[in-house]
Amino acid sequence: MIVLGFESSCDETGVALVDAAGHAIPRLLSHALHSQIAMHQAYGGVVPELASRDHIRRALPLTEYVIKQSNLTLADVDVVAYTRGPGLAGALLVGAGVACALAAALGKPAMGVHHLEGHLLSPFLSQDPPEFPFVALLVSGGHTQLMRVDAVGSYALLGESIDDAAGEAFDKSAKLLGLPYPGGPHLAKLAEQGDAKAFNLPRPLMHSGDLNFSFSGLKTAVLTQAKKLGDQLENRKADLAASTQAAIVEVLLKKAMSAMTLTGLKRLVVAGGVGANADLRNQLNAACAKRGIRVHYPELHLCTDNGAMIALAAGMRLQAGLEALDGAYSFDVKPR
């Protein structure tokens, strides 16, 4: 069963093909990604209208590319999957529209996929795929969640951010430091040259006793610190970046380990853009090694948004018998 998947929830157009027949885990046949980062950088953030228009421009050339790379033809595609949400409404509508139109033209079913399920399952495409059950730490630009995952489609929310997501904390703090969009990777790079103990920033909800997060106060603390530094900020930027990263990572680490204790599980899956953060990975690896916990990540290039995770999630849901494909081509998107 060949699944063609589209991702267009934000600022990356991703298209991928997986083979979900005869393999325990769908096999990635080909994938292509176009990042809009350069286009949005001039505005300091994603401009939704520009994002939608660019998805329109990229969707079909990327589709032609992945088909060519796989040595298949469009006629070999059995199901067309797309990100239904969450994300930017206009951007989602492009992916959904393209996917459903293509499916209708091919006479094959179309299927919407939850973006976060894509992230959550993306480590199954790695060299070291997890086994169920596991705890998932989902850390993206829009979400910070801890989940107990017992099977494909069986997700129990253990805790989540009550305000900003971890990625947002990275991005907003980076913006305050004058770093380009998207701030996360830039802040992480700058932090390499800084002293993580230089500034004592808050670790909100660290000892709340539950598995919820709160990151909105952190950017205020970073702003206050930046103002206090005044002219000195330029010299201390790396220290402030390192201290910010340390605050975010420490909370994520603490809550992830609490989730492991609470569930008694011995497997942790980390997914979403912030899962690419090297400091987070190092600290999680060390803590998990100490506790005899196996930790799984997506391949680095599949941490941030991509089409492969959407085709994979669709393939895994189909394999698990969770989808009743009705052949209807009406579609809706769920921005939230």
Beta bridge partners of 88: none
Q: Is 140 annotated as ligand-binding?
A: yes
Q: Which residues make Cβ contacts (< 8 Å) with residue 302, sequence separation at least 6?
A: 122, 125, 126, 308, 309
Q: Which two tokens mark 250?
A: 């420490």
Q: Which of these ranges, 17-25, 46-54, 100-108, 137-145, lies near ligand KG4 under the rule CB under 6 A?
A: 137-145
CA distances in angstroms from 9 to 124, 134, 294, 320, listed in the order given: 21, 26, 30, 25
Q: Which of these ranges, 203-211, 222-230, 262-270, 272-280, lies near ligand KG4 under the rule CB under 6 A?
A: 272-280
Please say which residue, 140 or 243, places its beta carbon nearer to Zn ion: 140
Three-class SS of residue 237?
A: helix
Q: In angstroms, rounded to a whole number, what is the distance separating the alpha carbons of residues 157 and 154?
A: 10
Gyration radius of the chain over CA positions:
20
284 is a contact residue toward ligand KG4 (CB under 6 A) = no
- Whether cis (ω within 30° of 0) applies to the bond prior to 335 is no
Site string for ligand KG4, 169-208 (x = CB under 6 A): -xx----------xxxx--x--------------------
Indicate the DSSP class of residue 47: -
Beta carbon of residue 255, minimum distance to ligand KG4 (angstroms, whole number): 17
Q: Which residues make Cβ contacts (< 8 Å) with residue 288, sequence separation at least 6?
A: 260, 268, 294, 295
CB atoms within 10 A of CB 196: 18
Q: Is 279 annotated as ligand-binding?
A: no
Q: Is 171 annotated as ligand-binding?
A: yes
Beta carbon of residue 272, minimum distance to ligand KG4 (angstroms, whole number): 4
Q: Which of 272, 298, 307, 315 binds ligand KG4 (CB under 6 A)?
A: 272
97 is a contact residue toward ligand KG4 (CB under 6 A) = no
User: What torsion, rounded to 10 degrees, do the Cα atoms 284, 138, 132, 25 define?
Assistant: -110
Beta carbon of residue 189, minimum distance to ligand KG4 (angstroms, whole number): 8
Q: Which two tokens mark 90?
A: 């206009």
Please say which residue, 139 or 238, places its beta carbon nearer to Zn ion: 139
Q: In angstroms, rounded to a whole number, what is the distance separating the alpha carbons of residues 322 and 317?
A: 5
305 is a contact residue toward Zn ion (CB under 5 A) = yes
Please say which residue, 119 or 175, places its beta carbon nearer to Zn ion: 119
Q: Which of 142, 159, 204, 307 binds ligand KG4 (CB under 6 A)?
A: 142
Indicate the DSSP class of residue 203: -
Q: Which two tokens mark 81?
A: 């999957």
Please say which residue, 266 or 281, places its beta carbon nearer to ligand KG4: 281
7 is a contact residue toward Zn ion (CB under 5 A) = no
Chosen from Zn ion, ligand KG4, none, partner binding at 184 (C-beta under 5 to 8 Å by type) = ligand KG4
Q: Which residues bind ligand KG4 (CB under 6 A)?
A: 10, 119, 140-142, 167, 170-171, 182-185, 188, 272-274, 276-277, 304-305
Residue set of the binding site for Fe cation: 115, 119, 305
Instruction: Output the known binding site for substrate.
Output: 138-142, 171, 184, 277
